[in-house]
């Protein structure tokens, strides 16, 4: 089968499609014939070598963390899903490899009819991540939540999940994305200098929680929240020096690692996403889709850091 991989650190051009043996579903797993899968910015940084001190990897590194497809193999002990079912879900963090013709999923949910394959292929990682962080922030009804980097893959889903929880959401993005953020239910503002003043104008009573999807501005975000415990980042490896929790799901990063303990994976985020999609309250904005063979171009787009929504590979 085809699998997207890289065998050395370097520019996007080191990403290529290789012919590899198809994997098989082990206990508790399913295999899907992949229809679409997400491009993960974290893997783009791993590929560049920027993360080598924090996330050591073995080559070849098979990319892809989430996917949507048709179930074609079911591992031992798995119930509630059948061959031919259409699902979306996630691979084990240590295995990955969903940017391929077949992928092993360890968490999945039925593909909502309201989503295209492309949307479903890019949904699981964002839904899980956003749910994990909103849970930790205890974001709920009556709260005001600031989402930094709200126009990206995780941010767009986080805005909608926070709105669905009854929160008032302020989202940051470049100005040309402000109408788009409004369409998702957020009150938009720009990031960068003067953010605290702009947020104060939008939320004079203050914000209850801050979800940082961008990194690089934790001092400002802590000042806005008034307490580092009210800030969670998914993108700033310097979080600990600001007293802020860096949420991630990678199991290999234990005590003493640069990025700290992994949080439990919020698998229930997939079920929540299915429910909201069925109610027409959650869409998965797709920034661009590329054929599997053009994964390098997808990495290049991700590196601009200005994709609006999720970048997806289609089979």
Ligand X SMILES: NC(=O)c1ccc[n+]([C@@H]2O[C@H](COP(=O)([O-])OP(=O)(O)OC[C@H]3O[C@@H](n4cnc5c(N)ncnc54)[C@H](OP(=O)(O)O)[C@@H]3O)[C@@H](O)[C@H]2O)c1
118 touching ligand X, by CB under 6 A: no
105 touching ligand X, by CB under 6 A: no
Among 36, 90, 234, 274, interactor with ligand X by CB under 6 A: 234
Place of tokens 């402000």: 178
Q: For ligand X, which is the closer residue by CB, 89 or 152? A: 152
Q: For ligand X, which is the closer residue by CB, 30 or 287? A: 287
Q: First CA to last CA across the chain, in angstroms?
A: 11
CA angle in degrees (0–180, nearest 5) for 273-286-284: 15
216 touching ligand X, by CB under 6 A: yes
CA angle in degrees (0–180, nearest 5) for 227-239-230: 25
| Span from 52-60, 71-79, 86-94, 168-176 in contact with ligand X (CB under 6 A) | 168-176
148 touching ligand X, by CB under 6 A: yes
Among 12, 25, 31, 41, interactor with ligand X by CB under 6 A: 41
306 touching ligand X, by CB under 6 A: yes
**H helices of the chain, where?**
41-48, 117-121, 124-136, 153-164, 178-184, 195-202, 218-225, 268-278, 295-303
Q: β-strand 66-74 against 86-90: which pairing, if any?
A: antiparallel
131 touching ligand X, by CB under 6 A: no
On whether the CB atoms of residues 30 and 71 are closer than 8 A, the answer is: yes
| Span from 13-21, 75-83, 112-120, 242-250 in contact with ligand X (CB under 6 A) | 242-250
Angle between helices 218-225 and 195-202 (to 10 degrees): 30
Among 153, 167, 270, 276, interactor with ligand X by CB under 6 A: 153
154 touching ligand X, by CB under 6 A: yes
308 touching ligand X, by CB under 6 A: yes
Structure tokens at 201: 């104008």
- Asked if omega into 60 is within 30° of 0 (cis), the reply is yes
307 touching ligand X, by CB under 6 A: yes
Among 14, 15, 225, 235, interactor with ligand X by CB under 6 A: 235
Q: State the residues that interact with ligand X by CB under 6 A.
A: 41-42, 125, 129, 148-149, 151-155, 172-174, 177, 191, 213-214, 216, 234-235, 247-249, 302, 305-308
């Amino acid at each position: 089968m085809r699998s997207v991989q890289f065998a050395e650190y370097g520019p996007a051009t080191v990403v290529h499609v290789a012919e590899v043996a198809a994997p098989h579903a082990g206990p508790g797993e399913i295999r899907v014939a992949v229809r679409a899968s997400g491009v993960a910015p974290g893997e783009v940084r791993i590929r560049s070598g920027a993360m080598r001190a924090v996330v050591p990897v073995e080559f070849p590194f098979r990319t892809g963390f989430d996917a949507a497809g048709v179930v074609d193999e079911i591992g031992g002990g798995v119930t509630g899903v059948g061959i031919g079912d259409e699902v979306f879900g996630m691979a084990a963090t240590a295995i990955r490899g969903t940017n391929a013709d077949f992928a092993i999923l360890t968490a999945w949910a039925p593909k909502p009819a309201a989503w295209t394959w492309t949307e479903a292929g890019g949904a699981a990682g964002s839904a899980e991540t956003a749910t994990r962080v909103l849970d930790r922030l205890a974001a709920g009804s009556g709260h005001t939540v600031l989402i930094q980097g709200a126009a990206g893959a995780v941010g767009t889903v986080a805005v909608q999940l926070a709105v669905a929880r009854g929160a008032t959401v302020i989202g940051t993005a470049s100005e040309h994305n402000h109408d788009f953020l409004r369409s998702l239910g957020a009150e938009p503002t720009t990031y960068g200098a003067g953010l605290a003043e702009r947020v104060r104008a939008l939320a004079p009573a203050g914000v209850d929680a801050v979800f940082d999807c961008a990194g690089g501005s934790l001092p400002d975000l802590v000042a806005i929240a008034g307490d580092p415990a009210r800030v969670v980042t998914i993108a700033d490896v310097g979080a600990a020096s600001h007293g802020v929790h860096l949420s991630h799901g990678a199991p290999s990063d234990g005590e003493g690692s640069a990025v700290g303990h992994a949080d439990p994976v919020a698998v229930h985020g997939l079920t929540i996403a299915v429910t909201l999609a069925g109610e027409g309250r959650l869409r998965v904005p797709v920034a661009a889709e590329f054929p599997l063979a053009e994964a390098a171009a997808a990495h290049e787009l991700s590196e601009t850091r200005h994709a609006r929504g999720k970048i997806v590979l289609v089979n």
